[in-house]
């Protein structure tokens, strides 16, 4: 028989049993969770595709690193290892450790944003925009229009539209734009990568306008792998070479180690400029900890440094993209509407086309995530109107994309788990007419997708 996928480039040394539940148990569990998959107990979940954040399996080498982590309050050897890894792989001069990505976003936003400034970005991410707005910034989406069309199958849908940067600069003035937030890959667009050519063009534009470019490097290794596989001229370059070139078109980055860093917790802010680094190093003490641990234990930093080196191994990262593609291809073959092309960390179901009869303000994606859980015990996440939140005037943002994210943790599940997931989604699609929307029972004031509660409209 032809094998249509690449087998795992690792073998399993420790296992974690998972629990199977009955449909009745899951119906009770989702009702108790207010139809919000974030509020389910993990024990009630069979296959957890809520997020790829902090859910990676570490290698034996990383676990060994935990034992030799240096827990010194200051000057930790493990921080030196992390700092050296970031300098080596990313090429930035300064590394400020933080407890996770949003810790770095907090520092960056405080340092760079003045009240009323505009921060252009290739689509928003929830915590990133929340920090920008808390510091008086106004987010402006400058991603290419194609990114907002879930069905359009074109490469590098994460790219920035330079015309949109021109328009913003003409409208508000370059001096009101402290930096461009360039995410590689773009989570909410479906894990879509940015091309090297686009990164270069954005950086050149920014330099002409004396505006900084800060990468959200959370999934930069996946982005580098897409560049290697899809962008002409990069096939024979290593992931590290590509990553370094990507970072050379920026002035720094925020990073959540919980994704491509292959660790369960950790992050950093990296910068090239001395003055900005000094500001970050004095702020990190207030919010995170000493500039030599920033909220991480020494062992976390040791595992993080090792994880970064493992992440740039092509056999690892290409297998990861392959796993995601396998799930997407199975759904696509059954005509289930998904975001195309298939992204780096997740397959995104297009809830608008899945449930065209449910209005966006009755939350088709939230409904689909809840029903998928009841169907199969697979936990997914809404990335649509609930995640988008409300405008400062108090209305819903109505994002074009109303998606359910099936996020694949790194090195955790096998192709069999992906088959179970695909079968469940396909079954749900065949009975899609019977689904009904949801309404709020409790709406959380900030980042409402985490803790809001809902009930079915039929009740
Ligand atoms: N940037 C992006 C693109 C992210 O996806 C995340 C987290 C962050 C920043 C913040 O990092 O969680 O370490 O503070 N994304 C997770 C997710 C939560 O599920 O997509 P963090």
Distance 101 CA to ligand 1 centre (A): 6
Element (H, E) at 269: strand 267-271
Which residue, 385, 352, 377, is CA-closest to 452?
Answer: 385
Distance between CA 228 and CA 223 in Å, rounded? Answer: 9
Q: What is the pLDDT of residues 256-284, one digit of tens each?
A: 999 999 999 999 999 999 999 999 999 99
Distance between CA 69 and CA 64 in Å, rounded? Answer: 9
Q: How far is CA 97 from CA 11, 218, 254, 264, in A?
A: 31, 14, 10, 15
Q: How far is CA 194 from CA 122, 213, 259, 267, in A?
A: 9, 14, 17, 21
Ligand 1: residues within 6 Å at CB? 51, 53, 100-102, 125, 127-128, 183, 187, 216, 218, 256, 258, 267
Distance 240 CA to ligand 1 centre (A): 22
Place 391 in a pLDDT band, splitting at 50, 70 and 90: confident
pLDDT above 90 (res 27) = yes
Which residue, 458, 454, 459, is CA-closest to 385?
Answer: 454
Peptide bond into 114 cis (omega under 30): no
Instruction: Say what the pLDDT of residue 3 is.
Output: 56
Catalytic-role residue among 5, 19, 23, 73? 73
Of all protein residues, whose CA lies closest to atom 5 belonging to ligand 1?
A: 187
Place 1 in a pLDDT band, splitting at 50, 70 and 90: very low
Instruction: Assess contact for 113 and 136: CB atoms under 8 A.
Output: yes
What would be the CATH architecture of the domain defined by 60-311? 3-Layer(aba) Sandwich (3.40)
Active site residue 216: yes
Mean pLDDT of the chain: 96
pLDDT above 80 (res 175) = yes
Catalytic-role residue among 124, 277, 449, 454? 449
Instruction: Say what the pLDDT of residue 227 is.
Output: 98
Residue from 256, 295, 410 to probe ligand 1 pocket by mutation (most atoms less than 8 Å from CB): 256
Which residue, 30, 120, 134, 56, is CA-closest to 447?
Answer: 134
Q: Which residues contact 364 (CB under 8 A, 6 or more apart)?
A: 351, 352, 354, 355, 358, 384, 402, 437
Give φ, ψ of 261 to 5 degrees: -80, -5
Instruction: Say what the pLDDT of residue 166 is.
Output: 98
Which residue, 229, 250, 248, is CA-closest to 239?
Answer: 229
Rounded to an integer, the average pLDDT of 420-446 is: 96
Which residue in the block uniquely carries the two structure tokens 């982005």? 223
Active site residue 73: yes
Structure tokens at 246: 């990507």
Which residue, 51, 40, 44, is CA-closest to 18?
Answer: 44
Distance 259 CA to ligand 1 centre (A): 8
338: helix, coil or strand? strand
Distance 160 CA to ligand 1 centre (A): 20
Structure tokens at 233: 């001229």
Rounded to an integer, the average pLDDT of 413-422 is: 97
Instruction: Say what the pLDDT of residue 446 is.
Output: 86
Of all protein residues, whose CA lies closest to atom 16 belonging to ligand 1?
A: 53
Which residue, 55, 99, 84, 57, is CA-closest to 254?
Answer: 99
pLDDT above 80 (res 315) = yes
Instruction: Say what the pLDDT of residue 459 is.
Output: 61
Give φ, ψ of 269 to 5 degrees: -110, 125
Catalytic-role residue among 125, 203, 304, 348? 125
Residue from 119, 185, 259, 383 to probe ligand 1 pocket by mutation (most atoms less than 8 Å from CB): 259
Which residue, 411, 403, 399, 414, is CA-closest to 347?
Answer: 403
In the chain, DSSP finds a helix count (H) and a strand count (E) of 16, 14
Distance 387 CA to ligand 1 centre (A): 13
Rounded to an integer, the average pLDDT of 190-217 is: 98
Pairing relationship of beta strands 47-48 and 378-379 according to DSSP bridges: parallel
The pTM for the full model equals 0.95
Element (H, E) at 268: strand 267-271
Place 2 in a pLDDT band, splitting at 50, 70 and 90: low
For the domain with range 23-52+314-456, which CATH number is right: 3.20.20.70, 3.90.1150.10, 3.40.50.300, 3.40.50.1460?
3.90.1150.10
Instruction: Say what the pLDDT of residue 199 is.
Output: 98
Residue from 53, 266, 406 to probe ligand 1 pocket by mutation (most atoms less than 8 Å from CB): 53
Which residue in the block uniquely carries the two structure tokens 């034996």? 60
Q: At what angle do helices 314-333 and 415-430 cross, to 10 degrees?
A: 20
pLDDT above 80 (res 4) = no
Query: Domain boundaries in the chain?
Result: 23-52+314-456, 60-311
pLDDT above 90 (res 6) = no
Distance between CA 166 and CA 284 in Å, rounded? Answer: 34
Structure tokens at 396: 């819903």
Rounding to the nearest 10 degrees, give the CA dihedral for residues 352, 356, 358, 360. Answer: 30
């Amino acid at each position: 028989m032809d094998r249509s996928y690449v087998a795992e480039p690792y073998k399993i040394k420790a296992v974690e049993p998972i629990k199977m539940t009955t449909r009745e148990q899951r119906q009770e569990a989702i009702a108790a969770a207010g139809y919000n998959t974030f509020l389910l107990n993990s024990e009630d979940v069979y296959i957890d595709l809520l997020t790829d954040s902090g859910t990676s399996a570490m290698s034996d080498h990383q676990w060994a690193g935990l034992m030799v982590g240096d827990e010194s309050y200051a000057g930790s050897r493990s921080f030196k290892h992390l700092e050296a890894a970031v300098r080596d792989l990313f090429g930035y001069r300064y590394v400020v450790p933080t407890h996770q990505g949003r810790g770095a976003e907090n520092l960056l936003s405080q340092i760079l944003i003045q009240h009323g400034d505009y921060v252009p970005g290739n689509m928003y991410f929830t915590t990133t925009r929340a920090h920008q707005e808390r510091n008086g910034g106004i987010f402006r989406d400058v991603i290419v229009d194609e990114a907002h069309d879930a069905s359009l199958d074109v490469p590098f849908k994460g790219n920035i539209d330079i015309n949109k940067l021109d328009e913003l600069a003409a409208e508000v003035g370059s001096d009101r734009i402290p930096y461009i937030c360039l995410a590689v890959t773009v989570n909410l667009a479906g894990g879509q990568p940015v091309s090297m050519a686009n990164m270069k063009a954005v950086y050149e534009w920014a330099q002409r306008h004396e505006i900084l470019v800060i990468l959200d490097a959370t999934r930069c290794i996946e982005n580098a792998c897409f560049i290697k596989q899809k962008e002409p001229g990069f096939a024979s370059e290593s992931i590290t070479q590509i990553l370094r070139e990507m970072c050379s078109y920026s002035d720094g980055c925020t990073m959540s180690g919980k994704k491509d860093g292959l660790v369960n917790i950790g992050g950093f802010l990296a910068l090239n400029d001395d003055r900005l680094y000094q500001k970050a190093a004095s702020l990190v003490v207030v919010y995170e900890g000493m500039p030599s641990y920033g909220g991480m234990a020494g062992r976390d930093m040791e595992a993080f440094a090792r994880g970064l080196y493992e992440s740039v191994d092509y056999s690892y990262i290409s297998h990861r993209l392959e796993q995601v593609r396998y799930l997407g291809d199975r759904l696509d073959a059954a005509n289930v509407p998904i975001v195309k092309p298939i992204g780096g960390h997740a397959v995104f179901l297009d809830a608008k086309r899945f449930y065209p009869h449910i209005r966006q303000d009755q939350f088709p994606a939230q409904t689909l995530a809840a029903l998928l859980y009841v169907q199969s015990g697979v936990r997914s996440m809404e990335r649509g109107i609930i995640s988008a939140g409300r405008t400062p005037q108090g209305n819903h943002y109505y994002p074009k994309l109303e998606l359910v994210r099936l996020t694949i943790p790194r090195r955790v599940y096998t192709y069999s788990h992906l088959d179970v997931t695909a079968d469940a989604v396909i079954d749900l699609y065949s009975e899609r007419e019977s689904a009904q929307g949801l309404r709020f029972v409790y709406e959380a004031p900030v980042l409402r997708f985490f803790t809001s509660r809902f009930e079915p409209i039929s009740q």
